[in-house]
A and B are shown apart, each in its own frame.
Chain A
Amino acid sequence: MMQRRSNAAELLPRAARLGRLKSALGAGVIRPGRLWEKRPLRRHYDVVIIGGGIHGLATAWYLAKDHGVRDIAVLESEYIGFGGSGRNTAIVRANQRTQENVPLYDEGLKLWPILTDELDFNLMFHNCGNLNLAHSEAAVAAFRLSVNTANFYGVRSELVDPQQCKELVPALDVSDRPAHPIQAGMYHPPGGVVRHDAVVWGLARGASLHGASIHQGVEVQGIDTEGGRVTGVRTSAGPIGCRKLGIMAGGYGPAIAAMLDIELPVNPLTIQAMVTQPLKPFLHHVVSSGAYHVYANQTLKGEIATGAHMDPQVNYTTDVTAGYFKHQAEALTDFMPCLKGVRFLRVWAGLADMTPDMAPILDGNFAHEGLYLDVGWGYFGFKSGPVAGKYMAEFMAREEAPEILEPFALRRFLENRYMGETATTMKYGQWD
């Protein structure tokens, strides 16, 4: 049984609390591997959540903390954070493009410091700001739209010229030499990076402290329904009954939904990321470029963590390919020439669950009573995890969609109400 902190620890000033995990570890208050309590798997829960990533754990945490629903099992087929939660590039931001998405991501961004305090766990939110580069007139026009939308909703975002880009990131080559010369930048000071593993661990600990059970190595193999209601799941550890079921399995969501013969406009695609050898601090903001298909930030350890584009075919594997090393190296060294000769050390892949409008599907009670769906976040699943969990918990507890989630229902794809996160429908997973 995990111990709550001693009273002495509670008296520490807030600033000291953030740095006290290490001392707590040293004092044996929190033992490594015991951040959350392992409990026996029971045969029935009020709520079963499929997926022990940030979305599932956040939903469990908010259900237990805010709604008094504690009879929860989070089922994870591997280990918590195995999927997208531990494979993303940890970037957070709120400069999306549409009236439905900006407020949601804005609240999500503002949640990081709040969560750090509520979970009493250092999530290592590094508020370094994001600089997105435009290399064409069309991209500059798209930035103007995004910046104005962001500012309308009170989100700090500004258009900057190449010289200002250079001041923000001196390593940038803002001359005409690169294949895609920099025309402008979109600077978003409130964004940054968060330690994704810490979010998984902190939420798992918080959810566990409030009574939720986390079960690793339990794979869902089927979903049972009766009379229009979800009644339980069949798993590698036997059947488990439930009254409400949340599918929050990230890129594996479509395969889980298919167990109920539910078709989704979601294509799981493999996306790769990699890190270089550690370097002296030189990149003080997240830098991204759509034209180069690259985004990069320097980790606290000094590595350049960079994400690539996706292969277009539906793919549930996390295999990596050599071609992306070449692509990332060419792209990064073209607009940041100082990186020439730097070595990549590690590469990995994860799944991105892509929708045609680059916006997620958050729905409930649409095919079967008691069935809730949180899927289709594409490569925005990390930054949105806690806020998605907050509102999915409200949805599941009250059995009614919170107003902020209403636009994200699955039906929009049958009514031609695609969100305008991109100028045109994405072509991932198909060609037409």
Chain B
Amino acid sequence: MTFRLTCPVCGKRDVYEFTYGGPERGPRPAEADPGSGLEAAVGSDPAVAAEAHFRWAQFRMNRPEPQEEWWHHGAGCGVWFSTWRDPATNREAPPGGAEAGGHEAGGRDSS
């Protein structure tokens, strides 16, 4: 079944009015804040830096639990916004689990 997403401007609208923008994945490794853990891990080795970038660009955990993601209300007001949706139900859902928060909401162990 189709479902409705909550646009921050227009309210609940049919999902086919929106364009999916992918999951929230944080800044690109190269754009990470100076002195951040990520940059320190990448170091100066180009191969390591490239690998970090490819992981950031394409690799996903894709657990069947709520994730934060970006949507564009292209057939409506045109706003980009982030919201939480659960791929297990394909519905808007609050961040899962008591330990929810940030980009890794839902915890590391779903088993």
Instruction: Please measure, in the bound complex, the distance between the C-alpha atom of A267 and the C-alpha atom of B60, giving whole angstroms.
Output: 8
CB of A431 within 8 A of CB of B62, answer no
The size bracket of the interface on B is 20 to 34
- A411 CB to nearest B CB, Å: 9
Specify which chain A residues have a CB less than 8 angstroms from the CB of B60 in the assembled complex: 254, 263-267, 314, 429
CB of A431 within 8 A of CB of B21, answer yes
Q: Is A319 an interface residue (CB 8 A)?
A: yes
Q: Is A284 an interface residue (CB 8 A)?
A: no
Specify which chain A residues have a CB less than 8 angstroms from the CB of B85 in the assembled complex: 313
Instruction: Please measure, in the bound complex, the distance between the C-alpha atom of A258 and the C-alpha atom of B65, giving whole angstroms.
Output: 11
Q: Is A414 an interface residue (CB 8 A)?
A: yes
CB of B22 within 8 A of CB of A431, answer yes
- A148 CB to nearest B CB, Å: 29
Instruction: Please measure, in the bound complex, the distance between the C-alpha atom of A432 and the C-alpha atom of B57, giving whole angstroms.
Output: 9
Interface string of B1-34 (1 = CB under 8 A from A): 1100000000000001001111100000000000
CB of B55 within 8 A of CB of A314, answer no
Specify which chain B residues have a CB less than 8 angstroms from the CB of A234 in the assembled complex: 111
Instruction: Please measure, in the bound complex, the distance between the C-alpha atom of A319 and the C-alpha atom of B1, giving whole angstroms.
Output: 5
Specify which chain B residues have a CB less than 8 angstroms from the CB of A265 in the assembled complex: 58-60
Instruction: Please measure, in the bound complex, the distance between the C-alpha atom of A429 and the C-alpha atom of B62, giving whole angstroms.
Output: 10
Q: Is B51 an interface residue (CB 8 A)?
A: yes
Specify which chain A residues have a CB less than 8 angstroms from the CB of B57 in the assembled complex: 432
CB of A313 within 8 A of CB of B90, answer yes
| B51 to chain A: closest residue by CB | A414
The size bracket of the interface on A is 35 or more
Q: Is A322 an interface residue (CB 8 A)?
A: yes
Q: Is A320 an interface residue (CB 8 A)?
A: yes
Instruction: Please measure, in the bound complex, the distance between the C-alpha atom of A356 and the C-alpha atom of B59, giving whole angstroms.
Output: 10
A315-351 CB contacts (< 8 Å) to partner B: 315-317, 319-323
CB of B22 within 8 A of CB of A432, answer yes
Interface string of B70-111 (1 = CB under 8 A from A): 101000000000000101111000000000000000001011
Specify which chain B residues have a CB less than 8 angstroms from the CB of A268 in the assembled complex: 62, 87
CB of A316 within 8 A of CB of B110, answer no
Interface string of A129-145 (1 = CB under 8 A from B): 00000000000000000
A296-324 CB contacts (< 8 Å) to partner B: 311-317, 319-323
CB of A263 within 8 A of CB of B61, answer yes
Q: Is A23 an interface residue (CB 8 A)?
A: no
CB of A254 within 8 A of CB of B62, answer yes
Specify which chain A residues have a CB less than 8 angstroms from the CB of B61 in the assembled complex: 254, 258, 261, 263
Specify which chain B residues have a CB less than 8 angstroms from the CB of A291 in the assembled complex: none
Instruction: Please measure, in the bound complex, the distance between the C-alpha atom of A320 and the C-alpha atom of B90, giving whole angstroms.
Output: 11
Q: Is B69 an interface residue (CB 8 A)?
A: yes
- Contacts A314-B87, A414-B51; is A323 near B2 (CB within 8 Å)? yes
- A327 CB to nearest B CB, Å: 11
Specify which chain B residues have a CB less than 8 angstroms from the CB of A127 in the assembled complex: none
CB of A413 within 8 A of CB of B2, answer no
- Contacts A258-B61, A267-B62, A316-B88; is A321 near B19 (CB within 8 Å)? no
CB of B111 within 8 A of CB of A221, answer yes
Give the contacting residue for B62; candidates A221, A314, A320; CB below 8 A: A314
Instruction: Please measure, in the bound complex, the distance between the C-alpha atom of A312 and the C-alpha atom of B87, giving whole angstroms.
Output: 12
CB of A321 within 8 A of CB of B88, answer no
| B108 to chain A: closest residue by CB | A261
Specify which chain B residues have a CB less than 8 angstroms from the CB of A416 in the assembled complex: 50, 54
Instruction: Please measure, in the bound complex, the distance between the C-alpha atom of A422 and the C-alpha atom of B22, giving whole angstroms.
Output: 20
Specify which chain A residues have a CB less than 8 angstroms from the CB of B20 in the assembled complex: 311-313, 429-431
Specify which chain B residues have a CB less than 8 angstroms from the CB of A267 in the assembled complex: 60, 62
Specify which chain A residues have a CB less than 8 angstroms from the CB of B22 in the assembled complex: 429-432
Specify which chain A residues have a CB less than 8 angstroms from the CB of B90 in the assembled complex: 270, 313, 315-317, 319
| A221 to chain B: closest residue by CB | B111
Specify which chain B residues have a CB less than 8 angstroms from the CB of A315 in the assembled complex: 87, 90
Specify which chain B residues have a CB less than 8 angstroms from the CB of A25 in the assembled complex: none
Scoring B21, B59, B85 by chain A CB atoms within 10 A of each residue's CB, the highest score goes to B59
Give the contacting residue for B23; candidates A266, A311, A314, A320; CB below 8 A: A314
CB of A266 within 8 A of CB of B62, answer yes
Give the contacting residue for B64; candidates A223, A255, A266; CB below 8 A: A255
User: Given known contacts A316-B64, A429-B60, what 7 new A-B pairs fall within 8 Å (CB)?
Assistant: A255-B64, A266-B60, A313-B20, A313-B87, A313-B90, A319-B1, A430-B23
A residues with CB within 8 A of B: 221-223, 234, 254-255, 258-259, 261, 263-268, 270, 311-317, 319-323, 356, 413-416, 429-432
25 of the cross-chain contacts (CB-CB < 8 Å) are A222-B111, A234-B111, A254-B61, A255-B62, A255-B63, A255-B64, A258-B110, A264-B62, A267-B60, A267-B62, A268-B87, A311-B20, A313-B20, A313-B69, A316-B87, A316-B88, A319-B90, A320-B1, A321-B1, A323-B2, A414-B51, A414-B54, A431-B21, A432-B22, A432-B57
B residues with CB within 8 A of A: 1-2, 16, 19-23, 50-51, 54-55, 57-64, 67, 69-70, 72, 85, 87-90, 108, 110-111
Q: Which 7 A-B pairs have the closest CB atoms?
A: A430-B22, A222-B111, A265-B58, A263-B59, A254-B62, A431-B21, A312-B20
